[in-house]
A = this chain, B = another copy of it.
Amino acid sequence: MKKTGDDILKKVGLYVGRFQPFHLGHLFAVKYALKRVDELIIVIGSSQKSHEPRHPFTTGERITMIVRSLEEEKIPRSSYLIVPVPDTEVHPTWVSLVEFMCPKFNIVFSNDPLTIRLMEESGYKVIQVPLKNREFLSGTEIRRRILKDLDWQSYVPAAVRDFIMEIDGCERIKVISKNND
C-alpha cells in the first residue's frame, strides 16, 4: 500500500498476544512497547477461539480485560487500539491478514519465535520484549493454577481478577477441561 510521509514519521507498534487471560507479563510488554512508539496496536490472536482448554475466553471478554487493565494503569485509550485477528488455515498468509485488519504499523514487539520469523521475513523490524518471571507469567501456567485451585490472582492485573470472577471464568475453565464423549 502507498506509504505517506505522515505514516513514516509516526511510530506505530504492533504487539500480538492471545491473552488467555491477559496477565502481568502482557501488561509489562504493553508498557515496554508504549515507551518506544507513538501508538500501539494490540492484536488479539486466535480471536476465533474460546471455550477450549487452551482458549477459554471470547474475544469480547479479552477486549474487556485489556481495556480495564490499562484503565487501571492510567494508560490513555488514545495511545492504543485493539484489533482481533483470527488464525489463518494457511499460516504464511497470516502476516498479510494482520496488514489487512490493522492500521499501518512499522515496528513489531514479540517474543514468539514464529511470529518474529514470519514478521522479519516480511520485512518488519522486530523488537524482543525482555521476559519477566516467565515461569509464572504464562497463560498455560495461569490456566493450570485456576484448574488446580492454586493462587492465580497474583499473576494478573486486579481488573482481570475481578472480571474473571464476574463472569464465573474459573468454573468455565473447569467445565471445558473435562474429557467428555
User: With A50-B92, A180-B113 as given contacts, are A83 and B84 in contact (CB-CB < 8 Å)?
Assistant: yes
Find out whether the CB atom of A95 lies under 8 angstroms from the CB atom of B96: yes
Q: How many residues of A contact B (CB 8 A)?
A: 61
Q: How far is the CA of A2 from the CA of B123 in the complex (A)?
A: 11
Name the B residues within 8 Å of A78 (CB-CB). Answer: 76-78
Name the B residues within 8 Å of A89 (CB-CB). Answer: 48
* Copies assembled: 6
Contact of A113 among B58, B77, B140, B178 (CB under 8 A): B178
Interface residues, chain A, CB within 8 Å of chain B? 1-2, 4, 6, 18, 20, 47-52, 54, 58-61, 63-64, 67, 76-78, 81-84, 88-93, 95-97, 99-104, 111-114, 117-118, 121, 138-140, 166-168, 172, 175-176, 178, 180-181
